[in-house]
Structure formats: C-alpha cells, structure tokens
Amino acid sequence: AATNRPDVLDPALLRPGRFDRRVVVPAPDMKGRLGILEVHSRRTPLAEDVDLEVLAKSTVGMNGSQLENLVNEAALLAAREDKKTIHMEDLDAAKDKVMMGPERRSAVVSERDRRRTAYHEAGHAIVSAVLPDSDKVHKVTITPRGMAMGLTWYLPEERTGFTQGEFESRIAMAMGGRAAEEVV
C-alpha cells in the first residue's frame, strides 16, 4: 500500500529487497498549486473577483486532492446560496473549512471568552505587522473552528529554509496572542 508512514507497515514488508525504492512526492509550490487550482476550476464558473493566485499563496502545504476538495467545497457553498458563479468569498470559506474544519456554530462562547479570543488574535496580528521578518497577515477570525476558538491566517513566503530572524519572528508572533491577553 502507498503510505508516508512506514512505521505502520508490517515489518515483513520492510525487510531488505522488498520495498527499497521510496518515491517522495513533496507538496506543490505556489506555481504548482496555481496550476492545480486552474485545472480543477476549469469547468467551474468563477466570478470576476476570484484571484486564484491569492488562493494559491494562501494554501501552502496543501496537496492536489485537498485543492480539488477546496474547489468542490466552494461550488457546494455557492450552490447552497443559489449563486450562478463561485466568488472569492466562497473559495475563502471553503479553504477555512478544508484546512480547519467546519464552523462550530453550536459552540456556546461567553462574551468574556469572545473578547479574550479577540485580544489574543489581535496580538498575533499586531506582532506580525511590526516585525520585519514575519509573514503577512491574511485574515483574522474569532469564529470557532475545529479545536481553535479563533485564528490568524498568514500568507507565508515560499522558502526552503529559515533565517534566525524569521524563526525569532515566528516565536514572537506565536507569543503575541498570550502577551496581548496579559496586557489587557
């Protein structure tokens, strides 16, 4: 079977001479994601406001099947609202759902927790805005999704390695949420 987890295979399958060849298929880069999105949205009516390049930049780490699922999910969201075309807001909502899970609309969140989440996410965004080596903030939300009460999305640059400044910026951005809670 194809897997990226050889630890779950029977040891007899992994003995010398059996499966010595490993084929590594990395996640596509920005250009590859853009091409995949273009292929999967070819037969889908897209609105004028759709920018697949922005979508490709914001889907770092997603593979082809996830990108296909994103386009299909956006089509379902648009169809539920009786739209004739898929808008960027549909693709954005589909990306959020594919990456983080559906909105937890049934989650009962107190006003105190909503405010704390808002301060926390604002802290991530503010620290990111003032640091020179940080990724650009794409979206901030306090809508609960998956296990998260809120989320700050970044548009990371394609890179193969990190400088010390970039690592330090990531640590500072992560701590910015908690620091904002403490300040408030």
Any idea which residues carry the catalytic annotation? 121
Task: Confirm if 73 and 97 have CB atoms less than 8 A apart.
Answer: yes
Euclidean distance between CA atoms 13 and 23, whole angstroms: 16
Backbone dihedral angles phi then psi of residue 162, each to the nearest 5 degrees: -125, 145
CA dihedral 101, 47, 56, 141 (to 10 degrees): -40
- In the chain, DSSP assigns E strands to 136-141, 151-155
The DSSP 8-state label assigned to residue 11 in this structure reads G
* 164-177: b (≥16 Cβ within 10 Å) or e: eebeebbebbeebb
22: which 2 tokens?
């490993």
